[in-house]
Amino acid sequence: MPLPSASPRIYRWLRVLLGIVVALGVVLALYRIAQRWNGRDVHVRWFPLVLSVITLVVANFFQALGWKYLLERMAGRAIALRPLMTVFMSGQLARYTPGKVGLPMVRIAGATKLGLSAHQIAASVGLEVAAWIGVGSLVSCGSLLCNMSAGSAIAGVSRTWIWLAIFGIGSCLSVAALVDQRRFPSWVLRLLRTEGVGPLISIPMLAMQLLAWSGWWVLGILIPLAVGSTLEVAAGQAVIFLVAPIIGFLALVAPGGLGVRETIISYALAPQIGASAALAAAVLARAAALASELAGWLIAVIWERH
């Protein structure tokens, strides 16, 4: 049974609460990172920074399209794109609540707008997150294989383990996208809270997520360039900007991975570009992500209303 739509007053208070949580989380993360600043000047190049925000806006819309394809497979019908974009982008901002409970809550609250049940939305969130982590891990492994140089922060990682990870993750995603869910063990279906017939996820959804993760790889090149890195070093370390969001998401106590993602990026980049530039890159990456999510939400709201 679909959830009743919330009153405008509840939505206003929810946005205010989320804004306060985001602000406090950002301040805390910046304070922790500032403690490692060594005082060296960093000159920011604005063109790659602005380009990184635009890249993530596009990546967010690809990810939203992936969720659309998943919902359409689950519902067996087309889902209107404009209201879906608004619900998705609102959920992205809600990720900054502690414990990451905001994202499913906001999406479930939008179930009525999409003409779906709360159960379908809840099940889609679990499937989407699992696929998102899987595709991101595949892209990270591929990037690792291409950048295992002696001067890299990920030098020394075993190629054998990377290939095994690619095979394992790729097999799981292939089974989920090609095998009818009725062939899965009952405990798996109960865990995923899914029902119906057909594969758990769709190939178009995986393709959209692959494009979304490609945007994060491009971000991993643009942000180091923005703080003075060479193209060769930036391309070699772009994998860090793929691994950091995954680890930050898995750190449930950190709203939106605040502090966790920045710590990983700054420590990984420091040997190549210096501590100050590495810290600046971590902060700018977070700023680009926040700016892209706010921009994506504004675009979605304006698009839906007009």
Q: Tens digit of pLDDT for each residue in 95-108?
A: 776 656 678 888 88
Task: Answer whether residue 170 is part of any domain.
Answer: yes
Please tell me which residue, 11 or 85, carries the higher pLDDT value: 85
Q: What is the pLDDT of residue 100?
A: 62
Q: How far apart are CA 181 and CA 188, in angstroms?
A: 9
To the question of pTM greater than 0.85 for the whole model, the response is no
Task: Answer whether residue 2 is part of any domain.
Answer: no
Task: Answer whether residue 215 is part of any domain.
Answer: yes
In this structure, are residues 220 and 198 in contact, taking their beta carbons and an 8 Å threshold? Answer: no
Q: What is the pLDDT of residue 24?
A: 62
Please check the confidence at residue 228 and state whether its pLDDT lies above 50.
Answer: yes
Task: Answer whether residue 39 is part of any domain.
Answer: no
Torsion sign over Cα 288, 291, 295, 296:
positive
Q: How far apart are CA 181 and CA 20, in angstroms?
A: 41
CA distances in angstroms from 40 to 36, 195, 273, listed in the order given: 11, 56, 12
Please check the confidence at residue 254 and state whether its pLDDT lies above 90.
Answer: no
- What total of structural domains would you count in the chain? 1
Q: What is the pLDDT of residue 271?
A: 81
What percent of the chain is modeled with pLDDT above 70?
A: 76
Task: Answer whether residue 3 is part of any domain.
Answer: no
Task: Answer whether residue 1 is part of any domain.
Answer: no
Please check the confidence at residue 23 and state whether its pLDDT lies above 60.
Answer: no
Q: Tens digit of pLDDT for each residue in 124-177?
A: 888 898 899 999 999 988 888 877 543 444 555 677 888 898 999 999 999 888
Task: Answer whether residue 35 is part of any domain.
Answer: no
Look up the domain containing 25 and give its range.
8-30+45-305
Q: Tens digit of pLDDT for each residue in 26-62?
A: 566 556 656 655 555 678 888 999 999 999 999 999 9
Q: Tens digit of pLDDT for each residue in 206-220?
A: 999 999 999 999 999
Q: What is the pLDDT of residue 206?
A: 94
The helix (run of H) or strand (run of E) holding residue 251 is: none
Highest mean pLDDT among 58-62, 149-153, 255-259, 287-291: 58-62
Task: Answer whether residue 208 is part of any domain.
Answer: yes
